[in-house]
Chains A and B, each alone.
Chain A
Amino acid sequence: NAGVTQTPKFRVLKTGQSMTLLCAQDMNHEYMYWYRQDPGMGLRLIHYSVGEGTTAKGEVPDGYNVSRLKKQNFLLGLESAAPSQTSVYFCASSSTPPHYGYTFGSGTRLTVV
């Protein structure tokens, strides 16, 4: 019973490098989300998806891109990393209504130097 799996768990990038964070869920959930968590700011929504092949912008989308080619996977890309993107990134998924909240992944701690 894996739930939501995020890889990698930790990563250090140099400014300007690119990377992709992978989120995989095995619960057949339609909706998937990427949040970032910064001290004192709670969680802020980056992008989300309401189904395979769909993506939409959240509150803080700049500098990120996403793709949802398969229902179970939601990828978050950083094309040119900046120190301001140092954060903990959480992926989450949920079923369509009735809505009982999110299931979160374990998080990816990203440091950009």
Chain B
Amino acid sequence: ELKVEQNPLFLSMQEGKNYTIYCNYSTTSDRLYWYRQDPGKSLESLFVLLSNGAVKQEGRLMASLDTKARLSTLHITAAVHDLSATYFCAVDIGSSGDKLTFGTGTRLAVRP
């Protein structure tokens, strides 16, 4: 059974600081996704990582994938309040239906 673990579960950080969210998974996969969810809202796709060593960047967020270590990271650079949200990673192991298994989420709060 595929397990996807994120840490930390909650992150309170100051504006301007850097931090990294980690996503570990238990079964071989080279498809990993990051989503953002604002309170009371739906999930919005951030990054799609489809191979070992993939790195994607958008603004202050950068995601990477190491399939050998079964690890993805979401790095936040110089955080701003607008980044406050819950971030989910999700893994597809290529089973029928391309089902995604989600991590429990990391709630990020950026304070002034």
Chain A contacts to B: CB under 8 angstroms: 31, 33, 35, 40-45, 48-50, 56, 58, 90, 94, 97-107
Contact = CB atoms under 8 A, between A and B. Distances in A.
Interface in B19-56: 31, 33, 35, 41-45, 48, 50
> Chain B: interface secondary structure?
loop
B81 interface: no
B99 A45 contact: yes
B82 interface: no
B104 A31 contact: no
A31 B105 contact: no
B91 to A, nearest CB: 11
Contacts of A50: 96-97
B74 to A, nearest CB: 15
A99 B30 CA distance: 12
Interface of B: 4, 9, 31, 33, 35, 41-45, 48, 50, 88, 90, 92, 96-105
B98 A31 contact: yes
A105 B98 contact: no
Contacts of A90: 42-43
A75 to B, nearest CB: 17
Given A42-B88, A42-B104, A43-B88, A99 B42 contact: no
Given A40-B9, A104-B44, 17 more contacts: A31-B98, A33-B97, A33-B100, A40-B104, A42-B102, A42-B103, A42-B104, A43-B43, A43-B90, A43-B102, A56-B96, A58-B99, A97-B98, A99-B92, A101-B35, A102-B33, A105-B42
